[in-house]
Amino acid sequence: MSSVNKFILVGRLGQEPEIRSTTSGQQVCTLSIATSETWTKDGNKEERTEWHRVILWGKLAEIAHKYLKKGRLVYIEGKLQTRSWEDQQGQKSYTTEILATNIQFLESNSDKKSDNNHDYYEPEFSSNSRPMMRSEERRVGK
């Protein structure tokens, strides 16, 4: 039996996307995504927020940096990846990140209008395909 490493996340950006280039010129963008859950305990509403580090490479990195802003709701698909490194004191450190393969902007921007006064639509982007507009998306089960 084979294994599956698939992660799906819907959350809000906690800060502006951070973009940098590797020494080879490859773009890499880091996102900080918050997810929250709420519940009631003894009649009081409680909330817990989890923070997720998301890494995007190449064209996805460029698109995320261009279109995403702090507070924006986003859908992320990818896989979990754990890295390790040795710090300056020789201590081994670890971090677990989401390596994104697909992003989709979930909120419509009613304040963004095109020249012909139609609602602006932001497409879904995938690391292994060109951007898909809604008219091109497959409607599975609908």
**pLDDT tens per residue across span 4-53:** 999 999 999 999 999 999 999 999 999 999 999 999 999 999 999 999 99
Write down the pLDDT at residue 107: 76
Residue type, 50: E
In terms of Cβ atoms closer than 10 Å to its own Cβ (0-12, 13-18, 19+), residue 62 is middle
Question: Which element (helix H / strand E) includes 52?
Answer: strand 44-57
Decide: 27 and 33 in contact? Cβ < 8 Å. no
Confidence band of 1 (pLDDT split at 50, 70, 90) = confident
- Beta pairing, strands 44-57 & 92-105: parallel
Write down the pLDDT at residue 94: 94
Neighbours of 3 (CB within 10 A): 4
Write down the pLDDT at residue 5: 95
Checking if the pLDDT of 135 tops 80, the result is: no
Write down the pLDDT at residue 125: 58
Q: What is the DSSP letter of 14?
A: S
- Beta pairing, strands 18-21 & 7-13: unpaired
- For residue 75, the SS3 value is strand
Decide: 64 and 86 in contact? Cβ < 8 Å. no
Write down the pLDDT at residue 140: 37
- Each residue of 88-131: pLDDT tens digit? 999 999 999 999 999 999 875 544 444 443 333 445 556 654 44
Neighbours of 29 (CB within 10 A): 23
Write down the pLDDT at residue 127: 60
Checking if the pLDDT of 71 tops 80, the result is: yes
